[in-house]
Structure 1
Amino acid sequence: MTAVLPSVSFDRLPHAAAVLPGLQPGPEPLTVTAQPVPPGTVVLAVRGEVDLCTSPLLQDALLTHLRHASAPLVIDLTDVGFFAAAGLTVLVTARQAAVTAGVRLCVVANSRPVLLPLTITGMDRVLDIHPDLAHARLCRSG
């Protein structure tokens, strides 16, 4: 017996994938801002969504700072509303670069969208995670 598969046309996008007329793209989904914090710590404040499309921006910012850093680097993820597997990959890459450079790396995270993937994957036991910037000041020591 031979199975007959229905014919599929790729001339049109499926209805669900159609773009609604008049729909404008929103603001930049991810921003990364460097803030030097005395004495000598750099805080990279991340705002938006970290996913497959935006993670290269985050990775570039982190690796740029780690290449030229001698002071601790704090990654502030408190304003991140979505954190996908690509974000975990970026944090693993940043951690490896920080270890190689001899730079202390800390992460500030306090929301479910960020903490859940970190916990499920066990990254919460690998990274130095703090609930806020005040606690991340401990990043300078040790």
Structure 2
Amino acid sequence: MLRVTVRRDRSAVVVALKGELDLHTQPLAEDAFAQVLTETAPHPSGVIADLSELTFCDSTGLSALISARHRLAADGRPLVLAGVHDRVTQVLSLTGLDRVFGCYATVAEAASALDQDG
């Protein structure tokens, strides 16, 4: 099961993923990122995927994150990851995606990095 919440911070949109991101829950994550792309409010400097409560992520979940990254980049907004830990860190490291995504320990650190880059 996956729970997704989207909230707007002063400098970023935070998409928090809680639970398991896999074949069955990928559409929930993709819908959340699509929602961010279609919002009409002034765009903040970027998007943060808060993975601090993500307990599992398979290749389908990684695909959802990569797809979101490409779509957001095309809209001029970076996607960074926050709260990556344990098994998710291993998956990102094994696939080399830890070098593709900006990875930060906390949402606050990710927001600060986006502010500096923006």
Global fold match (TM > 0.5): yes
Structure 2 equivalent of residue 21 of structure 1: none
Displacement after TM superposition at 1:64 (Å): 1.9
Matched AA of 1:127: F
Q: Deviations over 1:49-106 (max 9, x none)?
A: 0110001110111122123372211110000111111111011101110111001211
Structure 2 unpaired stretches of 5+: none
SS in 2 for 1:141: helix
**Deviation string for 1:100-141 (max 9, x for gaps)?**
100121111331121111111001101111111121121233
* 2:77 counterpart of 1:103: yes
CA-based RMSD of the aligned residues comes to 1.4
The equivalent residue for 1:66 is: 37
**For residues 97 and 140 of structure 1, what CA distance do their matches in structure 2 show?**
20
Matching residue's letter, 2:58: A
Which of the pair is proportionally richer in helix? 2
1:82 corresponds to which of 20, 37, 56:
56
Give the TM-score normalised by structure 1: 0.74
Query: In the aligned structure 1, how far is the partner of 2:107 from the partner of 2:89?
Result: 16
Aligned counterpart in structure 1 of residue 14 of structure 2, from 18, 24, 43: 43
**Within 2, Cα distance between the matches of 1:92 and 1:37?**
22
Q: What secondary structure does 1:110 align onto?
A: coil
Which protein is richer in strand relative to its size? Answer: 2
Question: Which has the higher relative contact order, 1 or 2, with Cα contacts under 8 A spaced 6 or more apart?
Answer: 2
